[in-house]
Amino acid sequence: MQLRTLAGLNRTMSAIGAGCWTIGGLASNGPVPIGWAGVDDEAAYAALQATHELGITVYDTADVYGLGHSERLLGRFLRTIDRRAVTVTSKVGYFAGTAAHPYHPTQLTGQFETTLANLGTGYLDGYFLHSSDFGPDDRYLDAAVSTMSMLRAKGLIRSIGMRAPHEFAEQWAGTDHPHASRTERFLRLFRRVKPDLLTVRYNLLSPRYGPQETDIFAFARRHGVGVLIKQVLGQGVLTGRYDPHSTPVFPAGDHRAADPMFRPAALAGAAELLSRLGERFGTSPHDRLRVAVQYALAADPDAVVLVGFRDKHQIATTTAASTSALSDEELADLRSILAGAQDHPRSSTSTTRSRT
């Protein structure tokens, strides 16, 4: 397992982290589906045990993943290993309970205590403001920031995190670019929160940036902020297992039912890209995983790549793909294929760009 030192935490850890959203299983937060169907707890637990054997030392979860179920399953596992040897992050901000808002101070501190209890730990290495909705006129922003700072000052959390936009170039702020206001909003929140860590969605379908544009990785580096990359497998789409001619059906409580990435146009765009990549890199499951994971690992030499999984086979095959680096020539070819796909009118990048 490759090791990386994450800025913001200044800690060395595995380059691949276990993303524990999937293992929360089916769930809804009020009317909003937030889960994954068909997850078997014991298979998921066996996968957590396998992470340890595979050299993974990073675990990312959230209070809403399975409404506490992911945290509790991870907590069962953490109690069996040396907690201090691993990095554990969780998140808050989408679940309001009976409070007026998820970031109401009593709700935030209550969720934090429950998260520690669920995980069976006395501290978190990273605690993320999961949502960027701080209420009308950002009413709950100041209190959320001061509560997080207080938790960090007490040593209960070792770093504060927030999410970055899926599409970002610093130069878009103050222009008439379609994402200007989203960029300005992120920059305002970033200045206010002063995070140590960011999570960034980044995969083969992500937009690419020009030489004059500061992307999120360069931005984070300049600010000494660590980056956790998520959705490198496009939630399964980039493994090539979806048929673009038939829309997958997901049961109630599975967030993918409402996700544009699983609609025919986006699946067709992804299939087209995968077909071009397959000609150069091969089409076996390992070939697909290798290209997806290595592309994310190449984005930034210090970022940690979170991968979702539901069983031991998935986490083991994804980790195996992470140990098989692309040569300089392969990486150059990959970037050239992606640049061509982005310019192509039916490209997957354009079909998924508006997803938030």
Ligand X SMILES: NC(=O)c1ccc[n+]([C@@H]2O[C@H](COP(=O)([O-])OP(=O)(O)OC[C@H]3O[C@@H](n4cnc5c(N)ncnc54)[C@H](OP(=O)(O)O)[C@@H]3O)[C@@H](O)[C@H]2O)c1
Which of the residues 302 through 331 are near ligand X (CB under 6 A)? 306-310, 314, 317-318
CB of 345 to ligand X, least distance (A): 25
- Of 39 and 173, CB closest to ligand X: 39
CB of 310 to ligand X, least distance (A): 5
The per-residue b/e assignment along 243-280, b for 16 or more CB within 10 angstroms, e otherwise, is ebeeebebeebbbbeebebbebebbebbbbbbeebbee
Under the criterion CB under 6 A, does residue 227 sit at the interface with ligand X?
Answer: no
The C-alpha atoms of residue 347 and residue 6 are separated, in whole angstroms, by 33
Q: Which stretch binds ligand X (CB under 6 A): 17-25, 108-116, 215-223, 242-250?
A: 17-25
- Of 173 and 308, CB closest to ligand X: 308
List the one residue from 15, 33, 58, 60 that touches ligand X (CB under 6 A).
Answer: 60
CB of 98 to ligand X, least distance (A): 25
Which of the residues 271 through 290 are near ligand X (CB under 6 A)? 289
List the one residue from 8, 21, 27, 349 that touches ligand X (CB under 6 A).
Answer: 21
Interstrand relation of 32-33 and 160-163 (parallel, antiparallel or unpaired): unpaired
CB of 174 to ligand X, least distance (A): 27
β-partners of residue 308 are: 19
- Of 88 and 341, CB closest to ligand X: 88
Give φ, ψ of 229 to 5 degrees: -90, 135
Q: Are 1 and 56 in contact (CB under 8 A)?
A: yes
- CA angle, residues 215, 264, 298, in degrees to nearest 5: 30
Under the criterion CB under 6 A, does residue 261 sit at the interface with ligand X?
Answer: no
N residues, the chain = 356
For residue 329, give every residue at least 6 positions away whose Cβ sits within 8 Å of its Cβ, in sequence order, or none: none
- Of 116 and 238, CB closest to ligand X: 238
- Of 166 and 173, CB closest to ligand X: 166
- Residue with structure tokens 């290595």? 294
Which of the residues 180 through 219 are near ligand X (CB under 6 A)? 199
DSSP 92: E
CB neighbourhood size of 89 (10 A): 26
Under the criterion CB under 6 A, does residue 36 sit at the interface with ligand X?
Answer: yes
- Residue with structure tokens 């040897």? 85
Under the criterion CB under 6 A, does residue 90 sit at the interface with ligand X?
Answer: no
- Residue with structure tokens 């209890």? 117
- Of 203 and 347, CB closest to ligand X: 203
Helices (H), ranges, 120-165 = 141-153
Burial (0-12, 13-18, 19+ Cβ within 10 Å), 18: buried
CB of 12 to ligand X, least distance (A): 20
CB of 77 to ligand X, least distance (A): 15
Q: Which amino acid is at 248?
A: P
- Number of residues lying near ligand X (CB under 6 A): 24
List the one residue from 19, 66, 102, 269 that touches ligand X (CB under 6 A).
Answer: 19
List the one residue from 20, 47, 116, 145 that touches ligand X (CB under 6 A).
Answer: 20
- CA angle, residues 249, 253, 256, in degrees to nearest 5: 45
CA distances from 3 to 9, 289, 349 (A): 14, 19, 30
Residues near ligand X (CB under 6 A) = 19-22, 36, 60, 199, 230-236, 239, 289, 306-310, 314, 317-318
